[in-house]
A and B are shown apart, each in its own frame.
Chain A
Amino acid sequence: MAEHTRIVSVELNNYRQFYGKQKIEFSSREEGFTTILGENGHGKSNLLNAINWCFYKNEPHGKKNYAASSPIINTKYLLDQKKGASARTSVKVTLQVGDDLYHISRILTIMVGDIEYEAIDDDTDVMVMAKWEDEKIPAGCSIIDSETDWRISKKAKGQTDFTDIKEDYGHKMNQILPKRLSVFFLLDGEFLEKFWDSFDRVEEGIEEISHLHLLSSAEKHVGDVGISRVTRAGTGTEQDNLEKIIERNQYYEKSLGDDGVLQMSEKQRWVQLGKEETGETYHATGTLRIDDLEHDLKKMRRRSQDISREIGSVNAASAKLLQEQFDKTEELLKKAKKTKIDTENRWRDSLIDKSVYVFAKTAIEDSVKIIEGHLEKGDLPNETKTIFTNDLLERGTCICDVDLKSKMADSKETNKNRIAVMKERDKVSQDIGLDSAVSMRVSFRNKVLDDYNGFLQSNFGDLEKMYKDADGTENDLNRKLKGIRVQLGDAGDKKIQDLIKEQDQIALEERAASEEISAIKVKLSKKSEENRDCRQKIIKLAGKDAKAAKEIYHSQIWDKARTQLQKIYDELKTETRIDMQNKTWEIFEKILFESNEFKKFIIKKDYTCALPNQENVDQIVDIAAGQSLFLALSFVTALREITGYKFPLVIDSPLGKISSTNRYNLAKILPDYLKDEQLTFLALDTEWTGEIPGKDKSFVEVITEKIPVKHFLIKKKNGRSEINPYNIKGDKPNGK
């Protein structure tokens, strides 16, 4: 069982944006978590890089070309040094492994020369980087070898000083944390975000951490040792033949020709449709051909899965866009139809109402002339005559002084003059002749005669145009809608058909490859059996030839060892895979608080994974960012639990990409996560201390309900990053 390891401290000296000496002392798990806060670009990812550089001289985190485009030595510090002076950067990591302490330190010292710059645009010059040995340093500078060093020293329990270890440093580093596994412990945000984009990490993780690679490598090496030709044990055709059979079988297994030279077939390796062929071919026979086929099978399955997803997304994306267009056009068509009906009605009404004016235009003109003749003569309209008569009756005297006062007797008017005027008034009021004619004249003049062309245009021409326009719009929209409907039915059909065709082709090739693998395995098994028989026979023939007998004896042991290693590998692989699958699912379920969204987590024989939901639809690539992070953390945790590997986790957590509910859940489970292990987080200040939407608490407030957190803040001033202890609300004093 591996011993517990913890990071005690990391000390940086003029490393990248960290100016001068910066030191972080990490909490042990008993003391709580350590969190390093900082804005983007202030150096969080470079803290991971610093540890990697110190351990393995590589910087895999953050921006891809970062390492190549800027000096590893802090630029401001570097430029402060005079030409000819030395400039130094170093990273020292102190680890506790079991009861022992280790210093791992890497120092790079350069001689400052005439630093070169190149213009990348009119007003920007950038420092040119050059390769010196295997480091990138500013062009014009050189590495001082005598002051460049990598060292591992140890202070065992009870000792007072650190002394350099005697073992090979590279070997010791691999024992502490192999380079290939560092990605599972120094977890950057991008790695976690894209963990399920490729199942290679699942394979690497399981194979490497569970030491399956040791078994497969040992089995391969044993096979290579055992292939050495058996020394001739004697003479005779029978033995010759037996040896030839053994040799031929071994050559078959190792894909070697009769001359013992590696044989390749002419068959091109599988490449995804549309991608350029690599020119690589399959091994001719044996286990190497199986390896090739299995490797390509994995690629085929992966592509097939991608196609399934692509089909869904092509269809969905096209259909969504077309549906939006369809809805919009349909809405416009509805409006156009209404406009057409309105204009049609108005045009029709106008035709009915106003056509008479057109037909009777001459008569109207004559009538107007007659009316105007009357008015010119002084005729009063009857309405005016009625008003005038009523005035006389009210006054009681006519304009000729005749008495018109009312004289009533037995409720009857008796004034004959008044009665006569009243009769005349009533008679006039019944006659609307000239009154109507006058009002008709105004109407005819205003509406028709004064601007006859205008009358025709507004009552017929304009309305007709409006109707025809509305009709045209309706027709256009109808045509458009029909087109969209057709497209909607065919949404992505062409592309989907191509994808289905590709998938079908892959399925055929998959089947052929699987069948070929099975056939080769059967053949290998027979050949192995045949070799055992041959060796038995040779032993009998070899008789007293001690040298030959020894080689045959050893070759039998190699054969046996190989079979044992193969069996152990197969069993362990299956068990580890199933254990990993179950453990990952158990942890993931716990993190998701028993959510029923997913059914189970599956790691298949070829290490591809699936996460079917309740409808048995694989969601492994489509899960939300938070769930993807949880699943990746669950996998990493399962790896540790199953293999007992004990290096601490440093997690550059992409909290910003996680929904508030998942963020809250994560904060809840973290204190109980890997309870015996040291955990360190790198996070954005705002994501760590800002309130989780809808939860009234920040991420750190939820965590500190259960476990103290020691904080550091990376702050950048004038281009220099500094790391200092930091107290935030909710912090326990000094993280204790």
Chain B
Amino acid sequence: MVDISDSIKDKIDKNVKDGKEKQFLIDLLECELYYVDQEKPDFKKDFKTIIEQRFPFKPKEDEDG
């Protein structure tokens, strides 16, 4: 079955050192794969979900408190 091409995965590996960032990009690209031939994909909603999952914000109160 069609997947994100190996060449893109290799490039991500080469250019992105952080594992979380790598997975974040793969997630985004998988969304794009799903959007193929969709006229108006709801990417804002999907991307927001992905960033919340991969990079949940941790307030700095702990440091200050």
A interface, CB within 8 angstroms of B: 1-3, 97-98, 170-171, 174-176, 178-180, 210-211, 214-215, 217-218, 221-222, 224-225, 544, 546, 549-550, 553-554, 557-558, 560-561, 564-565, 567-568, 571-572, 575-576, 642-645
Indicate if the CB atoms of A221 and B43 lie closer than 8 Å.
yes
Residues in A with CB closer than 8 Å to B24 are 557, 561
Residues in B with CB closer than 8 Å to A557 are 24, 51, 55
Which residue of A3, A544, A571 contacts B11 across the interface (Cβ within 8 Å)? A571
Q: Which 4 A-B pairs have the closest CB atoms?
A: A550-B57, A546-B59, A214-B32, A221-B43
Interface size class of B (residues with CB under 8 A): 35 or more
How many Å from the CB of B35 to the closest CB on chain A?
Answer: 7
| Contact A171-B34, Cβ < 8 Å, known A546-B61, A557-B51 | yes
How many Å from the CB of B59 to the closest CB on chain A?
Answer: 4
Indicate if the CB atoms of A210 and B21 lie closer than 8 Å.
no
Q: Determine the distance from Cα of A357 to Cα of B61 in the docked complex, in whole angstroms.
A: 141
Task: With A225-B48, A564-B25 given, name 8 new contacts (CB 8 A).
Answer: A180-B37, A211-B5, A214-B33, A217-B35, A221-B32, A546-B61, A550-B59, A642-B7
How many Å from the CB of A204 to the closest CB on chain B?
Answer: 13
| Contact A554-B3, Cβ < 8 Å, known A560-B21, A564-B21 | no
| Contact A544-B5, Cβ < 8 Å, known A221-B32, A561-B25 | no
Q: Determine the distance from Cα of A571 to Cα of B51 in the docked complex, in whole angstroms.
A: 25
Indicate if the CB atoms of B37 and A2 lie closer than 8 Å.
no
How many Å from the CB of B55 to the closest CB on chain A?
Answer: 5
Which residue of A3, A215, A546 contacts B29 across the interface (Cβ within 8 Å)? A215
Which residue of B32, B35, B60 contacts A549 across the interface (Cβ within 8 Å)? B60
Name which residue of chain A comes closest to B18, CB basis. A560
Q: Determine the distance from Cα of A292 to Cα of B4 in the docked complex, in whole angstroms.
A: 28
Indicate if the CB atoms of B8 and A568 lie closer than 8 Å.
yes
How many Å from the CB of A327 to the closest CB on chain B?
Answer: 59
Q: Beta-carbon contacts of B40-65 to A below 8 Å, as 1s and 0s?
A: 00011001100100010101110010
Indicate if the CB atoms of B8 and A215 lie closer than 8 Å.
yes
Q: Determine the distance from Cα of A306 to Cα of B51 in the docked complex, in whole angstroms.
A: 48
Residues in B with CB closer than 8 Å to A544 are 59-61, 64
Q: Determine the distance from Cα of A596 to Cα of B65 in the docked complex, in whole angstroms.
A: 77
B interface, CB within 8 angstroms of A: 1-8, 11-12, 15-16, 21, 24-25, 28-29, 31-37, 43-44, 47-48, 51, 55, 57, 59-61, 64
Residues in B with CB closer than 8 Å to A561 are 21, 24-25, 28
Q: Determine the distance from Cα of A180 to Cα of B2 in the docked complex, in whole angstroms.
A: 14
How many Å from the CB of B20 to the closest CB on chain A?
Answer: 10
Residues in B with CB closer than 8 Å to A176 are 1-2
Indicate if the CB atoms of A565 and B25 lie closer than 8 Å.
yes
Residues in B with CB closer than 8 Å to A567 are 15
21 residue pairs from A and B, CB less than 8 Å apart:
A2-B1, A97-B1, A174-B2, A175-B2, A210-B5, A210-B7, A214-B33, A218-B29, A225-B44, A544-B59, A546-B57, A546-B59, A558-B51, A561-B25, A564-B12, A564-B15, A572-B7, A572-B8, A572-B11, A642-B7, A645-B2
Indicate if the CB atoms of A222 and B11 lie closer than 8 Å.
no
Q: Determine the distance from Cα of A549 to Cα of B60 in the docked complex, in whole angstroms.
A: 9
Name which residue of chain A comes closest to B31, CB basis. A218
Q: Determine the distance from Cα of A324 to Cα of B44 in the docked complex, in whole angstroms.
A: 69
How many Å from the CB of B28 to the closest CB on chain A?
Answer: 5
Residues in B with CB closer than 8 Å to A221 are 28, 32, 43-44, 47
Indicate if the CB atoms of B36 and A218 lie closer than 8 Å.
no
Which residue of B3, B7, B35, B37 contacts A576 across the interface (Cβ within 8 Å)? B7
Which residue of A175, A225, A575 contacts B43 across the interface (Cβ within 8 Å)? A225
| Contact A217-B7, Cβ < 8 Å, known A225-B47, A564-B16 | no
Q: Determine the distance from Cα of A224 to Cα of B21 in the docked complex, in whole angstroms.
A: 19
